[in-house]
A and B are shown apart, each in its own frame.
Chain A
Amino acid sequence: MTDTSYAKYKLAPGTQVREEGFGLLFYTQQGPRLYFLACGSLLDASFFEGRQGLEQWLAGQRDEPGHDRGSVAQMQQALHQLGEKGVILEC
């Protein structure tokens, strides 16, 4: 997997996202289908406005519960998978 920690993301057309206790819930009109991102409060819906990459975003979240090296790597992978499924797009 390539390093995507600097990649910025936006929602694919027809995708919506909302915040839940476990993290983020995505809905794609195509299907329709649901996707879950168990990121707790580390990411919120505004991350997908594409202003910051994961690395930069998380730099401001160091005090959030669950913020450690392992979870960041997991999130990076999860974002990559959501990208492969067409839920989010790199921008």
Chain B
Amino acid sequence: MARAGLSAPVNVTWEITFRCNLNCAHCLSDAGRASPEELTDEQCRRLVDQLSASKVFQVNIGGGEPFIRPGFMDLLAYAHQKGVVTCVSSNGTLIGRDLARRLARMKMLYLQVSLDGATPEVNDPIRGRGTYQRIIQAAENLANEGVLFSINTVLTKKSYPQLEDLRRLAGSFGAELRVSRFRPSGRGKQSRDHLGPDKEQLESFAAWLEGHELVRTGDSFFCLTSEKRRRKGLDMCGAAKMTCCISPTGDVFPCAFLQEQPFWVGNVKTDSLKSVWDHSLVFARLRNLQVETCVECSRFEVCRGGCPAMAFHTYKDINMPDPECLVNLNMEMAS
């Protein structure tokens, strides 16, 4: 099915602005200032129209910080009105009581709030001084208003030892913990050595994950996912097969972590998303990608070569195995 291609993405990642009030050390978008080329409100609405017409079920909105973009709440409401479910990733620092109250009224919204440590000592060096307290306050506001949300943590050298505390902390707000993978894109390129989890941590994390079925991971960790989690559908990269990414300026890429020139496939200011989805050669290549050195591997059916973005950022070649593959890690650790 995936090779023939779906008629449209199941979900689309949409980075709605580069603007952000934080300067996180691992930000995949290298966010900070808005670009003058960002989609206008009208262009955003026309994009929502396209998503709705193609029956894209869900749009995952990130940035930058989405809530900092003027008119963002109106755009969310418009997406819901057009039948598109939204999942917004926020740094949480702008979610006061009033905003939480407004979000609670949106039944087609799911929210992820980023927190990179269970203590200020771990979180704040990554996300910025004082952010821990502001994020906790946001979580309280959301919980008090009954907003469905998860706490999103990037697995780093620093956050790994606190995963159990983070899970409990999320639970105290009635939220789930969602662990995302550290990827060396954006500012992550510079912070990889400092923050990227080490091999022992990755291997222990794989075991921890197997014992915590309710912890979400999105599609991040199929390179080390267990057979048990595979049954949840987390067994291959969805880029160009189930999903794609649209940047704040309307550029289309296979995923948020492959926003690099060789993977640019069009721009929604001038191209229809449907046309790009159906005809892009880059997307066709990703749909047919079979990492040659992985095909004979015993775990191939579980991970299918892992994350092409990790391979690209490590080897500049998507036809290479995921550098954090569980099999390779075990072999390296044994030797």
Chain A residues close to B by CB (< 8 Å): 16, 18-22, 25, 27, 29, 32-34, 36
Contact = CB atoms under 8 A, between A and B. Distances in A.
Contacts of B58: 27, 32
B4 interface: yes
B77 interface: no
A80 to B, nearest CB: 21
16 contacts: A16-B83, A18-B55, A19-B7, A20-B1, A20-B6, A21-B1, A21-B4, A21-B7, A25-B6, A25-B10, A27-B10, A27-B57, A27-B58, A29-B85, A32-B58, A34-B233
Nearest to A13: B107
A36 B6 CA distance: 12
Contacts of A25: 6, 10
Interface residues of B, number: 14
Contact of B55 (A16, A29, A36): A16
A32 B7 contact: no
Contacts of B55: 16, 18
Interface of B: 1, 4, 6-8, 10, 55, 57-58, 83, 85, 108, 110, 233
Contact of B10 (A19, A21, A29, A34): A34
Contacts of A21: 1, 4, 7
B57 A16 contact: yes
Contact of A20 (B7, B57, B85, B108): B7
Contacts of A29: 85, 108, 110
Contacts of B83: 16
Contacts of B8: 18
A22 B85 CA distance: 24
A59 B42 CA distance: 46
B148 to A, nearest CB: 10
A27 B10 CA distance: 8
Contacts of B10: 25, 27, 34
Given A16-B57, A32-B85, 18 more contacts: A16-B55, A16-B83, A18-B7, A20-B6, A20-B7, A21-B1, A21-B4, A22-B1, A25-B6, A25-B10, A27-B85, A29-B108, A29-B110, A32-B57, A32-B58, A33-B233, A34-B233, A36-B1
